[in-house]
Amino acid sequence: MRKIMLAAAAMLTISSTAFAQSTVIVTDPAPTGSVVLPGEVRTYVMEQNTPSVVYDGDIAVGATLPDTVEVHTVPNMDGYGYTVVNERRVIVEPKTHRVIQVIE
């Protein structure tokens, strides 16, 4: 019984440590793997008041938005940009306009 209690306590400690981290791992549906997204990027994007643009194409992780969609940079975070498309916040690679994450 004591071993079970110690194992449960260890699992709770590990679980609480995982919840305290500020990094979001976004799984890419393609076989290339995943992208580690700093929590600061998501927080910054959620705080911005950016007007939405209308786009008829696919808005999904891995899709590339056209150059006509304006991408805003995330300060002090190279490699991350964002836009709002069809009322959905989208984190993209600024150089390629490839969608990294769609925030629901």
The CATH number covering residue 94 comes to 3.10.450
Q: Indicate whether 90 belongs to any domain.
A: yes
pLDDT digits (tens, 9 = 90+) for 39-50: 999 999 999 999
Q: Domain tally for the chain?
A: 1
Q: Model pTM greater than 0.85?
A: no
Whole-number pLDDT of residue 57? 86
Is residue 4 a part of any domain in this protein?
no
Check residues 11 and 28 and name the one with the higher pLDDT. Answer: 11
Amino acid at 83: T
Rg (CA), the chain: 18
DSSP H helical ranges for 21-86:
39-47
pLDDT digits (tens, 9 = 90+) for 14-65: 544 444 444 443 444 443 445 678 899 999 999 999 999 999 988 999 999 9
In a domain, 43, yes or no: yes
